[in-house]
Amino acid sequence: MFPKPLLAASFEPLVLALLGRGETYGYEIIQQIQKLSEGRISWTANRLYPLLHDLENRRLVASSWRHDESGPGRKYYRLTAKGEEALAHAKRDWLDLNALLAALWGPTPSLAT
Amino acid sequence: MFHLETAIATWRQVLTRRRAFLEEDLDELERHLRDHAADLVREGVEEEAAFRRAVTSLGDLEGGETEYGKVYWGKLQRRRAVFSELRWRFTMLKNYLTIAIRTLRKHRSYALINVTGLAVGFACSFFILLWVRSEYQYDRFLEEGDRIHMLRRNVRMEDRIYTWSGAAKPLAEVLDRDYPEIEHVALTRWPESVVVTSDDRSYRETGLYVGAAFFEVFAFPFIQGKPAEAFQAEDHVVISDRLARKLFGEDWQSGSNAVGRRITLDHRRDFTVTGVIKDVPGNTSMQADLFMHIADFYVGKDWVDQWGNNGFQLYASLREDAVLPAVNAKIAGIVNENEEGADEELFFQPFEDTYLYASFENGQLVGGRIEYVRILTMVAVFLLLIASINFMNLATARGGQRAREIGVRKAIGANQHSLIQQFLTESVLLTTVAFLLAVGLVYALLPLFNQVSGKAFSRAELGPGFLFGMFGIACVVGLLAGSYPALYLSSFNPLVVLRGTFRHRVGTARLRKGLVVLQFTLSVVLIIATIAIYRQLLFIRTHDIGLDRENVVYLAMEGALRTQYDAVKAELLGRPGIAGVSAASSQPLSIGSSTGGATWEGMDPDVQREFYFLGVDYDFLETMRMDVVAGRTFDPAFGADSLSVLVNEEAARLIGEGVLGATFRFWAVTGPIVGVVRDFEMNSLYQPVEPVVFFLNPAAANVIYVRTEAGRTRDAIASLEAVATTFNPEYPFEYRFMDQDFEETYRSEVVLGTLANIFSLIAIFISCLGLFGLISFTAQLRTKELGIRKVLGATVPNLVGLLTGEVTKLVLIGVAVAIPLAYLVVDRWLAQFESHIDISIGLFVLAGVAALLIAWLTVSYQSIKSALADPVRSLRYE
């Protein structure tokens, strides 16, 4: 497991990133993140859905219902144009941060001089 | 047998009750649950276990509800469903209201006690706030009024600093000429009575001599004329709309111009009206209907040009960018630079503050009328507190009765949140009813309040703004007082309550007792303050002021009354009802004229003290019934008495040994001191007695004093009128009683006293109302206990003692806490009087005993009733 603050900070970017790979629904998102993180991240429905709804309120994602035979339909979410933009932003921020950390922890001795 | 569909339906039903979930959210969650459970079954998990694991992995319910709640409003907005949400909320509110009304109907006595207490408390605080507001608005009606300043002087004499507001004419000229921060300077005299004649009709009006720039300092709105051109010659006057209507007819504005018309003042000479201003509002100290040019006052008076003659008030308007402390620092020493031997510091006080802050001690502002505003504001807060405490106490004490209702509600699914809303709705409903009643009371009792407070509030002043503010206060009180019972009652555990073993928490009983103590503390503070104020007022009325003010009538010495004074005096003395006639230069109880230039034989040159002087006629001391403690009074038998002077005891102390016979000098008067007069209140009870010198000068007198025979006032007035109208046919006859004047001087004290009396009584009444309600509930709760005690042999007095003992303890604690608090308040108030009563232990004992007696009386009915109750009945119950 990751520490809590890290999980909280990465929650939204990760969801945006997953949605960036294509339209999907809540249950699948939870399954996917569990698989991709090798069990180190597991989200509960109680947290994920409010976030999705919030993204929808902010017009970053759009949703549509699809019905099949078993019970109520599934609600699918996809990124809007605004969502793509937000994803690009998040990507840049995290990569920058990553680069900074890599530089600080890397073998380059330049900082010492 | 586990059935998945039933399980899912039950799960969903629980969530439906939670407000944060929309129907479609539940659809989404349900599908999630089904997908998860199906996957688990596929992996080989049993159906029931799969369902449970799927539900668990959704996360905890409370946290989920909070998270869903955060995005709820956003969703509604997105779905344009805000309206239906509001409708739903409104329906809920309606439901709460219905239940609240039902509950209140069922517990009528409870509702009645609560509403009465609150309504009376509200009504009183509204009255007080109305009064406080008008006090704060006093003198604050002029545009740019914050730029007007009044000049005050801190004059050092011996070791004290006296703060006076008088100013000299040369000072005004210097300020106007040399100080760019000052825009305009205007001197004024004090309001005086002037006889105004137009078209052969005469009226007695209040006139004020003012400097030419007066209307540029005070921006009174003009109906006709121009402020800057109002006083170009010494015979120019400005009148109020009211006076214009009186002189030129109601329709003066439609007829010819008022400007340019001639009026006669004091039958002396004609003046030209140069302007008409809108009537001066009632709540200002600048009360006058006639404004005369001060240049007219200067005529024939050389003294006005001296630096030491502070016969005026000085007002100035400062430039917008002027900084008061900087200006004060610049002007402080002007008089010292110009007048030899002067030791005084000048400063400006904002005009708008002069009404509430006019009391100085040793050069420092110590308050003034603001004290009364503070005292009454405190009373208003006390009243609201006491009423709120009633509310809280009754509501929590009643909790036992409602415990079952709360239990049932919770068992069928109400959560704490909705119960809190329910209880708050009840308390806001009660406060609203109380508020409406209070507004009704205020409307109905407004004339009475006007009479008591001496203000002239109209019902129009209770406009929407005021009502809205008051409703705000009422709601805050309702919510605050309702919140504790709401939290407490809604926290009951339904299991415990429904099992029938409900007990109040120990903590609440303690809190309730604490609140009762607080109530009695506040009430006792009010009782003590009321008694102290009452005693001080009584003291003012009965205190020996050094002369007999009863049965003395006085009138202005004008026209023939002045020129033929001796004939008038002889004529009056021969008429029925008149015991004595004399005259003086001013009122002996408020001598305005003083001088720093008095000297006497053997004077210590370091002594510097202001002497107040009074020019009098023979018989003045006899007419006023003032006592001579040494020497003699003025006597026509001594030919040279026109040069003799009398001094008061304070002056005699200052002069020291050999006062009788010593030569006394001030201005043009030089003569021996022939007598010492017993000290009298020559200023007011706020100030110490200062040295006074009497000199014989009937010609300089301004006021005729007539002592009437006791019980024959009517005859005396008739005689006075006959004589006055014979000698002075063209002057309206007007007279005043000295004792009425005296009462008026202390009118604010009387008003405060009366208001404090009334409101304290009401505070005590509300406290008792609450105590009565509380003891009724306690007795009810203890019915069984009392029954058992009685069966076991307790007597009625035993039981009454048991019930009242508790109350006695609480009241005594309240009294103990109240005494030091009350001491501080009373001591502070009394300190402003130079002569005042002493705070005695008796005062506190009296208040404590009164509070205890009132509390006992309140609870006696209920305790005796409970103690007398037949134990068989109370024990058979249940």
Contact A56 B70 (CB under 8 A): no
Between these two residues, B279 and B158, which has the higher pLDDT value?
B279
Question: Taking chain B, what is the end-to-end CA distance rounded to the nearest angstrom?
Answer: 44
* B23/A contact by beta carbon, under 8 A: no
B34-88 per-position pLDDT tens digit: 989 989 999 988 889 999 999 888 888 777 888 888 888 887 777 777 777 788 7
Question: Which of B35, B56, B58 has the most A C-beta neighbours within 10 Å, making it the best mutation to test the interface with A?
Answer: B35
Residue B214, pLDDT score: 92
Please list, in sequence order, all residues whose beta carbon lies within 8 angstroms of the beta carbon of residue B69, skipping any fewer than 6 positions away. Answer: B19, B20
CB of A84 within 8 Å of a chain B CB? The answer is no
Confidence of residue B356 (pLDDT cuts 50, 70, 90): confident
Residues paired with B150 in a beta bridge: B315, B349
B255 burial level (CB within 10 Å; 0-12, 13-18, 19+): exposed
Is pLDDT of A112 > 60? Answer: no
Q: How confident is the model at residue B651 (pLDDT cuts 50, 70, 90)?
A: confident
Question: Can you spell out the DSSP letters for B728-789?
Answer: -TTSPP--EEHHHHHHHHTHHHHHHHHHHHHHHHHHHHHHHHHHHHHHHHHHHHTHHHHHHH
Q: What is the DSSP letter of B189?
A: -
- Can you give the pLDDT at residue B829? 79
d(CA B633, CA B315): 42
Q: By three-state DSSP, how is residue B344 classified?
A: strand
Out of A46, A56, A73, name the one closest to residue B60 (CB): A46
pLDDT band at residue A111 using 50, 70 and 90 as cut-offs: low
> Do the bridges between strand A61-66 and strand A74-79 make them parallel or antiparallel, or are there none, so unpaired?
antiparallel
Q: Does A76 touch chain B (CB under 8 A)?
A: no
Nearest to B334 by CA among B324, B348, B319: B348
What is the distance in angstroms between the Cα of B71 and the nearest Cα belonging to chain A?
6
Q: Looking at the complex, does the CB of residue A56 fall below 8 Å from at least one CB of chain B?
A: yes
How far B484 CA lies from chain A's nearest CA (Å)? 33
Rounded to whole angstroms, how far apart are CA atoms B31 and A73?
7
Give how far B86 is from chain A: nearest CA, Å: 19
CB-nearest partner of B35 from A27, A46, A53 = A27
Please compute the mean of the pLDDT values over residues B306-329 and round it to a whole number: 88
Rounded Cα distance, B675 and B644, in Å = 9
Contact between A57 and B78 using a beta-carbon 8 Å cutoff = yes
Degrees, nearest 5: CA angle A15-A20-A22: 110
Q: Taking the mean position of all CA atoms in its chain, how far away is CA B755? A: 9
How far B413 CA sits from the closest chain A CA (Å)? 22
Q: Which tokens sit at B763?
A: 């505070």
Show residues of chain A in contact with B71, CB under 8 Å. 50, 53-54, 57
- Measured in whole angstroms, the distance separating CA B116 from the mean position of its chain's CA atoms is 24
- Which residue shows structure tokens 């005070």? B218
What is the Cα–Cα distance from A7 to A42, expressed in whole angstroms?
A: 10
pLDDT in tens, B673-696: 888 999 888 877 777 788 888 888
Enter the pTM of the model.
0.72
The closest CB to that of A49, out of B28, B74, B78, belongs to: B28
Structure tokens at B221: 């709105």
- 3-class secondary structure for B375-402? HHHHHHHHHHHHHHHHHHHHHHHCHHHH
Q: Do B32 and A56 touch (CB under 8 A)?
A: no
pLDDT at B504: 61
pLDDT tens digits, B778-807: 777 777 788 888 888 888 888 888 888 888
User: If DSSP codes are grouped into helix, strand and coil, which group holds residue B548?
Assistant: coil
| Local confidence band at B667 (pLDDT 50, 70, 90 cut-offs) | confident
Mean per-residue pLDDT, B12-22: 81
Decide if A46 and B34 are in contact by the 8 Å CB cutoff: no
- The residue that leads in pLDDT, B667 or B425, is B425
Cα B869 off chain centre by: 48
Mind giving me the DSSP string for B609-630?
--EEEEEE-TTHHHHHTPPEEE
Q: What is the pLDDT of residue B500?
A: 65
Closest-CA distance of chain A to residue B409, Å: 28
State the maximum Cα–Cα separation within chain B, in Å, rounded to a whole number. Answer: 137
**pLDDT at site B699:** 76
CB of B68 less than 8 A from some CB of A: yes
Q: Strands B269-277, B236-240: parallel, antiparallel or unpaired by DSSP?
A: parallel
**Least Cα separation, residue A21 to chain B (angstroms):** 21
User: What's the mean pLDDT when you consider all of chain B?
Assistant: 84
Asked if B574 and B607 count as a contact pair (C-beta separation under 8 A), the reply is: no
Going by C-alpha positions, the residue among B406, B556, B413 that lies closest to residue B487 is: B406
Which residue on chain B is closest to A42 by alpha carbon?
B57
> What single letter denotes the amino acid at residue B751?
V
β partners of residue B642: none
Partner B contacted by A39 (CB < 8 A): no
Residue ranges of E strands in B657-698: 663-666, 669-677, 692-696
Mean pLDDT of B409-423: 80
Q: How confident is the model at residue B21 (pLDDT cuts 50, 70, 90)?
A: confident
- Tell me what pLDDT residue B88 has: 77
- Which chain A residue is nearest to residue B70, measuring alpha carbons? A50
Q: How confident is the model at residue B299 (pLDDT cuts 50, 70, 90)?
A: confident
Q: What are phi and psi of B856, to 5 degrees?
A: -60, -45
Q: What are phi and psi of B319, to 5 degrees?
A: -65, 155
Do B298 and B280 meet the contact criterion of CB atoms below 8 Å apart?
no
What chain B residue is nearest to A31 in terms of C-alpha separation?
B36
Task: Report, as an integer, the average pLDDT of B820-843.
Answer: 83
Check if A26 contacts B (Cβ < 8 Å). yes
On chain A, the residues whose CB falls within 8 A of the CB of B77 are 57
pLDDT tens-digit readout, B693-752: 888 887 778 889 999 988 888 888 888 888 888 888 888 888 888 888 888 777 777 887
ipTM greater than cut 0.95: no
pLDDT tens-place string over residues B859-878: 888 788 878 877 777 777 55
Q: Flag whether pLDDT at B596 surpasses 90.
A: no
Lowest mean pLDDT among B356-370, B391-405, B544-558: B391-405
What 3-state class would DSSP assign to A18? helix
* Closest chain A residue to the Cα of B63, Cα to Cα: A46
- Which residue matches tokens 């047998």? B1
**Closest residue in A to B78 (Cα–Cα):** A57
The pLDDT, as a whole number, for residue A29 is 93
| Cα–Cα distances in angstroms (integers) from residue B799 to residues A82, B50, B294, B856, in the given order | 79, 66, 80, 14
C-alpha distance across the termini of chain A, in Å: 37
Percent of chain A at pLDDT > 90 equals 58
- Is B71–A57 a contact, with Cβ atoms under 8 angstroms apart? yes
Count Cβ–Cβ pairs < 8 Å, chain A vs chain B: 71
- Residues of B whose CB is below 8 A from A74: 31, 35
Interface contact flag, A49 B34, Cβ < 8 Å: no
Banded pLDDT at B348 (limits 50, 70, 90): very high
Q: Which residues on B lie below 8 Å from A46 (Cβ)?
A: 58-61, 63-64, 67-68
pLDDT greater than 80 at residue B476? yes
Instruction: Assign A100 to helix, strand or coil.
Output: helix
| Contacts by A6-11, CB closer than 8 A, 24 or more apart | A7/A41, A11/A43, A11/A47, A11/A51
**Residue B17 to chain A, least CA–CA distance (Å):** 16
pLDDT of B289 strictly over 60 = yes
Q: Residue B870: its pLDDT value, please? A: 79
The residue among B58, B67, B72, B80 with the most chain A CBs within 10 A of its CB, best to mutate, is: B67
Which 40-59 residues of chain B touch chain A by CB within 8 A? Answer: 57-59
Query: Which pLDDT score, from 0 to 100, does residue A81 have?
Result: 93
What pLDDT shows up at residue A113?
45
Q: How confident is the model at residue B415 (pLDDT cuts 50, 70, 90)?
A: confident
Residues of B in contact with A75 (CB under 8 A): 24, 27-28, 31
Who wins on pLDDT, A44 or B402?
A44
Mean pLDDT for B559-588 is 86
In contact, B365 and B171? CB cutoff 8 Å: no
Backbone angles phi, psi at B411, to 5 degrees: -65, -35
Cα–Cα distance, B813 to B808 (Å, whole number): 9
Q: Is B714 on the interface with A (CB under 8 A)?
A: no
Distance CA(B847)–CA(B845), nearest Å, equals 5
DSSP letter, residue B221: P
